[in-house]
Structure 1
């Protein structure tokens, strides 16, 4: 059970090459962060994972089945995509209706629909706003409405585009709790983000992209400790990693707790 990209490239209609011969596999239940500067190919790569884009060459498979044989709607039922800006995704007049849209379109019975909407509302922390218009909610809450609407479909993989953007401490804690619960259910979590602290704290594996290709793929500690990779991807290492380096300790340390454990 995995999403796999095999020698995948994508060229936009204007001729711009956005992804160049990428091989990548993300297993069910895994947490993977895809990082890199704008233009590295991150967004194009993940949009091919859920069928929003089709590769110019190569093949994308979801749990062994080629996306070329399925419609975008069919692929997106397995691989949910939450956009960076919730306004690009939300259209319901109230949160309840927004979450019920997928359920009603899928033709589920009332019991299944109610159970899935209730689960998504709990995971996304929306219990107190179900009757409100999403457009009247703060940006951070709207982000969770967009996430909740995708979770109703019970996708097996969830792509989060810059999920921490616009979130305060409470929002980050809610996001962390939600990711933990989803992983316990065996759902794969994929994020594209510039928030290196979030990656260091919450993700086990990092895929670094630059020049439209994957330049590193491995344990978060190893990737963030590789100065050449971080330089090529034009990324800044987390503050804790820089502190550990300045103290002459293991450059793989990514948190204050890890640094403390290294001090005699």
Structure 2
């Protein structure tokens, strides 16, 4: 699936301009992180990708078809969106019913829904909570319940809005497993996040936003080597990356192991 964004602009009813002419495209299955400070336009931009918001100006084409041609319900079959706040997404009496709802609307056969529940509930860590009311789950479990409900519809693209908020180490590891699963099954994961440690562990492709525009996009090596753009977007690299840059290491480091390797190599070159 290819998503093309052409001169995308969005204005609030008050007249404020949230997006200021975005041009980019997404396709393939390499996970993509969208980063930038609060108010950069990340969520507003992402909500345009499946029609939750509609452009004030410009075009969004999905496999060549304008997003205006169909409803958000139609596009949600192909592009799933997981909200930052799970309470804005959960509305049924049990986790099982939350998981069943989407595929039922799509006409998925009962036996296939059951198979999906078995797999997805294991993937998101809720296999033993299927009879629980979603609002009796803790914050981490709620987040994975919303992710599971979208995975149940098997979209070609899934958008995660700040999935690491409130997560512990185990939760972040589970997110990594989900992102890996999506990539290995030819599904594109687009993630909005402020967690740069999580970004460098899970994403090679990064989009940097500021003031309703894309400042740059590219590999994590390219992005985190561009200190000027990071400063402009108020993005701070992970601590180990900053240490390596402060020491003037030629190669950029994203982990302790990389830092030790790069630092040792420089010592041997002297």
TM range (shorter): over 0.9
Q: Is the 8 A contact 1:95 1:134 kept in 2?
A: yes
Residue 248 of structure 1 and its aligned partner are, at CA, apart by 2.4
> How far did residue 126 of structure 1 move?
1.3
2:142 partner SS: helix
What CA distance in whole angstroms lies between the structure 2 residues aligned with 1:225 and 1:204? 13
Show CA shifts across 1:137-158 (max 9, x none): 1100110000000011110001
| Cα displacement (A) at 1:5 | 0.6
1:45-67 Cα offsets, whole Å, 9 max, x none, are: 10000110011111111222211
Consecutive unaligned residues of structure 2, counting only runs of 5 or more, are: 266-270
Inter-partner Cα distance in structure 2 for 1:39 and 1:237: 19
Match of 1:78 in 2: 78
Secondary structure, counterpart of 1:218 in structure 2: strand
Contact between 1:158 and 1:190, CA under 8 Å: does it hold in 2?
Answer: yes
Does structure 2 conserve the Cα–Cα contact (< 8 Å) formed by 1:116 and 1:152? yes
Residues 104-253 of structure 1: pairs in structure 2 closer than 5 A:
104-250=104-250, 252-253=252-253
Give deviations 1:3-50, integer Å, cap 9, x for gaps. Answer: 111111111222111001101111131211111111111111100001
Between the aligned partners of 2:75 and 2:89, the Cα distance in structure 1 is: 17
Distance 1:116 1:155 in 2: 13
Instruction: Give the drift of 1:109.
Output: 1.9
Could you say what secondary structure the match of 2:181 adopts? Answer: helix
Q: Which deviations, in whole Å up to 9, do the C-alpha atoms of 1:119-152 show, x marking residues without a partner? A: 3212212111111111111100110000000011
Q: Give every structure 1 segment of 4 or more consecutive aligned residues whose post-TM-superposition deviation is greater than 6 Å.
A: none
Residue aligning to 2:19: 19
CA distance in 2, matches of 1:206, 1:250: 21
- How much has 1:237 moved relative to structure 2? 1.1
**Residue 90 of structure 2 corresponds to which residue in structure 1?**
90
Q: C-alpha distance in 2, partners of 1:184/1:155?
A: 14
Q: How far off its partner does 1:175 sit? A: 0.7
1:258 corresponds in structure 2 to 258
Deviation, 1:100, is 0.6
**Equivalent-residue separation in structure 1 for 2:150 and 2:44 (angstroms):** 20
After superposing the two structures, state which structure 1 stretch, 57-66 or 251-260, moved more: 251-260
SS in 1 for 2:59: strand
Q: Normalization by structure 2: what TM-score? A: 0.94
Alpha carbon RMSD of aligned pairs, Å?
Answer: 1.2
Count of equivalent residues: 264
**Whole-angstrom distance in 2 between the partners of 1:5 and 1:195:** 25
